[in-house]
Amino acid sequence: MRKRSLIPILYILFLMLPIYWLIAMSFKTTNEILSGFSLFPQTFTWDNYITIFTDPSWYWAYVNSIIYVSLNTVISICVALPAAYAFSRYRFLGDKTLFFWLLTNRMAPAAVFVLPFFQLYSAVGLFDTHIAVALAHCLFNIPLAVWILEGFMSGVPKELDETAYIDGYSFPRFFITIFLPAIKAGVGVAAFFCFMFSWVELLLAKNLTAVYAKPIAAEMTKTASSAGYELGLLAAAGTLTIIPGAIVIYFVRNYIAKGFALGRV
């Protein structure tokens, strides 16, 4: 028993080490971080967190990120639901090609799209708005959401649709009251992945914003200045960045296993 649990314990320690290091750093002063190796904070300090929660440019960066990530998740799911339903239920000319083409959007690096998005958004006056980033992230997240949802929807037998029509349900009523509850795990998983990809995406978010919609990832670069790096502050900001993801993953942890079983995550 002890021997068997040794390897998983080592593995988990190995995985947790960088996260522990980040959290430990966030409670140290920058001087201590630079002075050498220490496993625990020698002079424990909340200063880094206090800075973040009192400086509007810091906490607004978090709010900005949460706004465009939430916007993006809602848009992606709302657009992907009907698309995924069509792919899973209907056969039409070029359906398989179109499905594959959607996925290829995820294969191009984000950097390719920075210039066209920047130019386009500047021209139509969307530059430095939350919706600009949310829409840009749709390019990656809608195909992903369509793909995940299509898998879950295809797992629901077509006979369920037929039974509902025979029972008298109109299509919208069937979709909302019967079909959505039947695939709610899929919606959870798709929303989670949209959230995560949008939350960690840096390049588009940084380049499509300046002041009003500045995301946390861009704000973090502020810690580098001519006076050197404020490593403690950077670590505290990093720790806070992990938290939303951790909260979301807690809620969808059971559904994600289902998604893996379907081969769609």
Partner 1 sequence: MTITLNKITKVVAGQTHIKPTSLTFQTGHFNVLLGETGAGKTSLIKLMAGLDPIAAGTIEMDGQDVTKLSTQKRNISLVHQFFVNYPHMTVFDNIASPLKVAGMAKSEIQGRVEEAADILQLRPMLHRRPHELSGGQQQRTALARAIAKESRAVFLDEPLANLDYKLREELREQLPELFAGRGAVVVYATSEPEEALLLGGSTALMDDGNVAQFGPTAEIYRKPQTLTAAKVFSDPPINVAKVTKMGSTLIMGNSARWDSAKMKDAPDGDYQIAVRPHHVTPKPSPANTVKLNGRVLVTELSGSESSAHFAMPDADWVSLSHGVHPYQVGEDHPFYLDPSACMLFAEDGQVVAGGAV
Among all chains, which residue has been given the structure tokens 């709302």? 78
Determine, following the binding rule CB under 8 A, whether residue 175 of this chain makes contact with partner 1: no
Determine, following the binding rule CB under 8 A, whether residue 172 of this chain makes contact with partner 1: no
- Of 96-125, binders to partner 1 (CB under 8 A) are none
Determine, following the binding rule CB under 8 A, whether residue 157 of this chain makes contact with partner 1: yes
Binding map of partner 1 across residues 196-235, x = CB under 8 A, - = no contact = ----------------------------------------
**φ/ψ of residue 215, rounded to 5:** -80, 165
Q: Percent helix, strand, coil in the chain (nearest 5)? A: 80, 0, 20
What residues contact 41, with CB distance under 8 A and at least 6 apart? 24, 27, 28, 32
**Residue 94 token pair:** 């070029």
**Considering beta carbons, is residue 112 or 159 the nearer one to partner 1?**
159
Stretch that binds partner 1, among 62-70, 131-139, 164-172, 233-241 (CB under 8 A): 164-172
Counting residues that bind partner 1 (by CB under 8 A) gives 17
**Considering beta carbons, is residue 155 or 238 the nearer one to partner 1?**
155
Residue among 173, 221, 242, 260 that touches partner 1 (CB under 8 A): 173
- Of 177-196, binders to partner 1 (CB under 8 A) are 178, 181-182, 184
Report the distance separating Cα 265 and Cα 81, nearest Å. Answer: 17
Cβ atoms of 59 and 68 within 8 Å: the answer is no
DSSP letter, residue 211: S
Determine, following the binding rule CB under 8 A, whether residue 160 of this chain makes contact with partner 1: yes
**Considering beta carbons, is residue 232 or 259 the nearer one to partner 1?**
259
Report the distance separating Cα 242 and Cα 246, nearest Å. Answer: 6
Report the distance separating Cα 116 and Cα 210, nearest Å. Answer: 17
Cβ atoms of 42 and 28 within 8 Å: the answer is yes
**Considering beta carbons, is residue 11 or 165 the nearer one to partner 1?**
165
The least CB distance from residue 3 to partner 1, in Å, is: 39
Helices and strands per DSSP (H, E), number in the chain? 14, 2
- Which residues of the chain form contacts with partner 1 (CB under 8 A)? 157, 159-160, 162-170, 173, 178, 181-182, 184
